[in-house]
Structure formats: C-alpha cells, structure tokens
Amino acid sequence: MTKPNIRDTGYYSYRLGSLPKGCKLCVRGEKLVLFITGLCNRDCFYCPLSDEKKNRDVVYANEWNTGFSGGTLTEEETNTILKEARLCDAKGAGVTGGDPLLVLDRTVEVIRKLKKEFGEDFHVHLYTTPENVTEERLEKLFKAGLDEIRFHPLVWDDRCWDRIDLAKKFNWSVGVEIPAILGYEEQTKKLIDFLEGRIGFLNINELELADTKANKLLEMGYKAKNDESYGVSGSEELALSLMEYVREKGYSFRVHYCTCRLKDAVQMKQRILRRAGNVAQKFDKITEDGMLVRGAIYLPELKPGFGYRKKLMELSRDEREKILSDLMEAKNRLIWDRMFRGDELVVDDFKLRLLASRRSVKKLRKRLKKIGLAPALVEEYPTRDSLEVDVEFL
Ligand code: SF4
C-alpha cells in the first residue's frame, strides 16, 4: 500500500490524511470556542491560558465573559453562549478549558442545550486530559451528544495513556492533541507508537509562547521563531519530523499540524468576519480584516484611556444603569437639537457610549464637545469585548 504524503492544507498547516471534522469547521471560523472552566489539575509549563482564565472557574463564549461565577449556569449565562453562537453563525463548538471534565455536569448540560438549540448536526468537540477520564464520565458526554473527543496526555508520563482506550467504547471520533515540545522528541515518539490502533487522528500544535504566569517557556529558554510570531523556534520542524515518523511507520491515524498563524490569520479572522457581518450597525464600515470602523461619542468620565477597561469592568449594576440613563438622556437631547435622527444614534450598552456614523460625528464634533461629550473615530474588533485597534479623538 502506498503511504500518503504530507500536504499543505492551504491554511498555514499540514496534514497527513484528511482533517478531523472539528478542524475542518474551525479553519472556516465556524466553531464557537466555549471555554467552560479555567480549572485544571495540571500545571503544564507550556500552558497557554491567560492569567484571567487559568485556575479560575469562569465561562467564556469566544471573547464574551458570560459573568459566570460559580454554581450552575443561570439561564442568562446559557443564553449568552447561545447568542454568541448565533452571532458567529457557528456550525459547531469546541469545548475547552482548563479541563471540562472537572465541571462535568455543566459541560454535559451545555452540550445538550447547544444540540437542542442548533440541531444534531451542530458538531461539538471537547478537549480533556486522560487523568480525569472514567467510562461513566465519557458515557455522560456521549449521551449528551458529543461528536469528537480530543485527549491531551502528558508526553513524558505514560501512567494514564491507556485511559484513552475507554473512549473506543463509544461511537464518536477519538483523537489526541499535543504540542510539539523541543527536547521531548523521543517521549513524543513513544506516545505516537502507543497510539497506533487506538485513535482516529493526532493533532500536533506549534508550541506557543505566552506572557502569562502559567507559561514558563520564556524563562526556560525557549525563543520565538521571529518577531511577529509567538510560535516557538524549532517547534514547527519537530512537528513536521513527527508527521514524517508517523508516515514512515505507516500508522493508520490521520495527522494535522496546526500553527499559531492558522489560529490568528485564518481561524480567528474567519470567525471575526462572520461576526462582523452580524453585529455591524448600518453606518459602520467593515474592513477587509473584519474590523468595525465607526463614530463614537463618549461621556467624559468613560473615555478610552489609561484604566478604561478596568473601570468599565468594575462598574456595579446600579452604576451601569445610571450611566445608561445618562446616555439615553444625551441621545434624546441630540435628537431634540436636530443633530441626529433617531435611527442615526445607537446606545452601546456594553461599552456605555453612543455610536453613529463617522461622517456625522466628524461634522458635529465642535457642537458635541461644546455640550461636554467626547467624539471619536474608532476602529475595533467586532467581538463582544470590542477591543480597540485605534481611537482618534476629534
Ligand atoms: S495546558 Fe491544558 S492541561 Fe495543561 S495546565 Fe493548561 S489547561 Fe491544564
């Protein structure tokens, strides 16, 4: 039998055999990234989690912090997850963490709700560590409708590797996902040998540097491959040599090597473009990269600048209500003064400002400033956090 070749996917990644379904949807930006908890029993030195998420029991749907702070998900928090999936026209979800198995009931409940809302074809995959796997837990996930499970074993510790076999009892797609870690080539090959006959696919990720407490790679001497990338120098070469190893051995499972560039330049960009089309106001311009360019009118005490995000996040419910009522008042005044028509001004209840067209904000800047408002032209992500790329006060 001829051995398949390693092929460029066209998405800054390589494959040996076809891509797993979870990856096919992900590269098109069609997957909701559902971060179900930051809790994890492990302390991997290459952990990519941010300080806001690592070991914190928080739930994010893409960039949207649902506000979950313990217990079971409220109806409002669940609706946030479903809403974000709708805003991105998601065709599936990747449930990640932390380790979703540490909050199994929550994970099962959300998978059920996603399937109920979007139908059986809504493809759900999940990442977990073999350490927390039992047959009973897997059965709950399978019954909830999970389509694809991806194990992340430690390459240097084989004690729990055989738990991956428990997943074979269920009719779903089973894979392993690991980073290509320099210095661990032999251990990784040993794992690869072990996986033959046990899994359908292997995903190898480019090792990522992160400026976080959890990620120890920089202090351990790992280096970025260039100034623009957070991929570790040498990780790609190792990943490709591991793919070649699988090919030469003639192993039966498929392999996908996924780069940092794929995540940023393909997956994230596609997801952003999908969301931009759904959240843009009629007066916004959408750039090629999916950014929103718009006019914004800020209250002087809540203008972007030093400490802006922290200030926004720390507002109490009552304070937000008060600011929203001030914004409504400002909007009504601007309409009353015939500066804008009613449909030309939108109250942004997340960033607590008014939105309008760039043209009108530019034209009316002097009058807006005269009544104590702060007009600006902004370019920002269409994600829930509306991260600013550029703010130009007028
Ligand atoms: S990389 Fe994954 S398994 Fe390892 S500590 Fe981070 S969240 Fe846990």
Provide the pLDDT for residue 196. 98
Rounded to an integer, the average pLDDT of 34-58 is 96
Helices (H), ranges, the chain: 21-27, 75-87, 104-118, 135-144, 185-195, 235-249, 260-261, 269-279, 308-314, 317-336, 358-363, 365-370
Q: What is the pLDDT of residues 178-204, one digit of tens each?
A: 999 999 999 999 999 999 999 999 999
The gap between the terminal CA atoms of the chain, to the nearest Å, is 68
The full 3-state SS of 249-286, as one line of letters, equals HCCCCEEEEECHHHHHHHHHHHHHHHHHHHHCCCCCEE
Q: Is the predicted pLDDT of residue 1 greater than 80, yes or no?
A: no
- Is the confidence at residue 164, as pLDDT, over 70? yes
The yes-or-no verdict on residue 2 having pLDDT over 90 is: no
150 lines ligand 1 (CB under 6 A): no
Closest CA to 213 of 67, 70, 95, 38: 38
**Is the distance from CB of 270 to CB of 246 less than 8 angstroms?**
no
The rounded Å distance from CA 40 to ligand 1 centre is 6
- Residue 264 confidence (pLDDT): 85
Question: Which of the residue ranges 137-141, 213-217, 241-245, 308-312 would you say has the lowest mean pLDDT?
Answer: 308-312
For the chain, what is the mean pLDDT? 95
pLDDT of residue 70: 87
Q: Order the strands of the 123-128 sheet from edge to edge.
A: 6-8, 13-16, 254-258, 201-206, 173-180, 148-151, 123-128, 92-97, 31-37, 60-61, 64-65
Question: Distance between CA atoms of 342 and 1, rounded to whole angstroms?
Answer: 69
pTM of the complete model: 0.93
289 has a pLDDT exceeding 90: yes
CB-ligand 1 contact for 15 (6 Å cutoff): no
For residue 69, name the pLDDT band (cuts at 50, 70, 90): confident
Q: Using 50, 70 and 90 to split pLDDT, how confident is the model at 36?
A: very high
306 pLDDT above the threshold of 90: no
Domain with CATH 3.20.20 in the chain: 6-275
Ligand 1 centre and the CA of 86: distance in Å? 28
State if residue 49 touches ligand 1 by the CB under 6 angstroms criterion: yes
Q: Which has the closest alpha carbon to 380: 286, 264, 274?
A: 286
Q: What is the DSSP string of 126-161?
A: EEE-GGG--HHHHHHHHHHT--EEEE---TT-GGGG
Q: If you take atom 7 of ligand 1, which residue's CA is the nearest one?
A: 98
- CA–centroid distance, 154 to ligand 1, in Å, is 10
Q: What is the DSSP string of 19-46?
A: PPHHHHHHHTT-EEEEEEE---S---TT
Q: How far is the CA of 7 from the centre of ligand 1 (A)?
A: 29
For residue 325, what is the DSSP state? Answer: H
* CATH label, 6-275, candidates 1.10.3470, 3.20.20, 3.40.50, 3.40.140: 3.20.20
